[in-house]
Amino acid sequence: MTTDDTSPWLVVGLGNPGGEYAANRHNVGFMVADLLAERMGARFKAHKSRAQVVEGRIGPPGPGSRRVVIAKPMSFMNLSGGPTTALRDFYKVPTGHVVAVHDELDIDYGALRLKLGGGDNGHNGLKSITKSLGPDYARVRFGIGRPPGRMDVAAFVLKDFSSAERRELDYFVDRAADAVETLIVDGLDRAQTTYNS
């Protein structure tokens, strides 16, 4: 990720718009985006790219801070690539400065893995972004675990977190937001060392 330090960053929290999806496992990217916006003291505004966006800075005041756009695509998960590409072009963000925050079935609940590039692992949001941008963007993968028994994967991701999971959800979302900030300010290696579990 050797891009110019002055280039802005684009953090895309993945989810589905609408109140009925708000607490779903699939919407954890939106939850992290909401917390990052709250930390910046900013409110989401509609953008012509079919996304809600917040612009601000992350990191210590002065030369160490980074210009960041936090986005929540309003296009539904499997069409996330269109708004993401439109935002990247509008804000002139290098692809290496795009960060997708998303739920991940193959990681235990609450665990995080950060990486640059790679496949989509069957995740429709990533599939759509990769189709539009190519694979060379960063991912903050938030573990939601596998569905119990024979539950269908699609049904599982569109269910709300269980009451047991909700007890720790705020802590895990907070940790994921910290991981995004570390990635942007200190780089991927430092973020992986600190947060990959």
Mean pLDDT, the chain, whole residue set:
92
Per-residue pLDDT for the chain (197 aa), expressed as one digit of tens each?
444 568 899 999 999 999 999 999 999 999 999 999 999 999 999 989 899 999 999 888 887 789 999 999 999 899 999 999 999 999 999 999 999 999 999 999 999 999 999 888 889 999 999 999 999 999 999 999 999 888 898 899 999 999 999 999 999 999 999 999 999 999 999 999 999 97
The set of residues, in sequence order, having a beta carbon less than 8 Å from that of 142 and lying 6+ positions away, is 28, 29, 32, 101, 102, 103, 104, 107, 110, 112, 172, 176
Positions of E strands within 59-177 = 66-73, 98-104, 112-116, 138-143
Q: What is the pLDDT of residue 32?
A: 98
Length of the chain in terms of residues written: 197
- Specify whether 26 is catalytic: yes
Give the contacts of 157 (CB within 8 A, at least 6 positions apart).
24, 25, 26, 103, 105, 144
**% of the chain exceeding 90 in pLDDT:** 82
Catalytic residue among 26, 47, 102, 123: 26
Q: What is the pLDDT, as a whole number, of residue 90?
A: 95
| CA 23/CA 27 separation, integer angstroms | 7
